[in-house]
Structure 1
Amino acid sequence: MIRDRLAIGASVVLLAGVVGACGDGDAPTPSRSTPSAAPSQTTPPTPVVPPSPSPTVATRAPGADGVTYKIQDFEKHQDDEAVIEWTRIAEGLAASTNQGRLVPWLEQRVSKKVLRIYADAVALSSKRKYHVADVGDVKVRSSRTEGDRAELSMCMWSTTTGVRDENDRAVGDDEGIWFRQDAVMSKASGQWVLTSIDGRGGTCRGGPPT
């Protein structure tokens, strides 16, 4: 099934808040016929309190090949190397789907077994003129790293990461679902490599991405 084999997806969405400043307008001019009374004592000026800086929201850089994933609750996972690398690899597969060929660096980031699955999926998508959106959503179901081995259970929002046909219609009728992919990664020479994937894990709980 294509949805099980294409771990494809999309983008970091940055929400920027814009604060508009409003002036006080023109101050009224005192009447000439009624002079203002002198104050009995000098009123100290009200101190100006600078606005508090907006909290910095952690975000990922856009994907290197035109497709980026937004990781739900990214602040909790931004230091998890395996999660970040899985996301980059998934972005690479999505970009490969859109380009009709595997992006070159992907061969160094996945095992030969996974590469064969990816190559078959990309070839099939190219033949059927499938593509994916440039922006998508994923979330972490679980992540456990012990030494140079990591076991991940990731979820992909079908509406934003699923393949679409040449008329931009979703392939299949499973919109609005978190698909689950279990993965194993190994670290060698300082680089995480995706060694196995299993898309038969079903779905993940939860509503639409935020």
Structure 2
Amino acid sequence: MLPKLISAVKLDERLEELDQADLIIFLANTGCRVGEVCGLRWDALDLAKGTASIRANVVRATGVGLIIQDHPKTKAGVRTIALPSPLLAVLRLRDKRSPHTDHDLVFPTVLGHVRDPRNTARDWREARGRLGFPDVTTHSFRKTVATALDQAGLTAREIAEYLGHENPSLTQDVYMSKNTGGKRAAVALAAITG
């Protein structure tokens, strides 16, 4: 499903108009929170090493408007993650073609301002139906990444650290596919009963 979704995102004219396609691709490849991606600065990326340091978050402050916090949602949210190679290719192209703005954000608005996570989620909500993925929210990407990492054999602790969770049990209870354990259980039982 994810390759088809990413392909559709790349071809969507409205997402390109909003300069949001790369942001959605980043979400789909990393499972980061929308506010974290909206607050991602170029100096937090190391394209040579293939990493992103998640250390900021965009939020709406009462009476102030959008602000870039110098920390993610939680203490555990401060992390450096490895980026998949297809995402690195997208980011390298973006680095070459996009002017760096005052805030040096990787994903500013088309006018170079701080991107609002709520508006980003709304724009994605409008796009996902058009693209044939009506149930895929920005939060769905976190669950998809957690499940993929689980299926790749990472521990709950490793997955929690990648997603920026303090407690691996939250990662297991909320983000990881419930049917993965069933498959492993069946294999284990077949080995002892077969």
Could you state the TM-score of these two structures normalised by the residue count of structure 2? 0.23
| Higher normalized helix content (fraction of residues) | 2
Structure of larger gyration radius: 1
Could you state the TM-score of these two structures normalised by the residue count of structure 1? 0.22
| Higher normalized strand content (fraction of residues) | 1
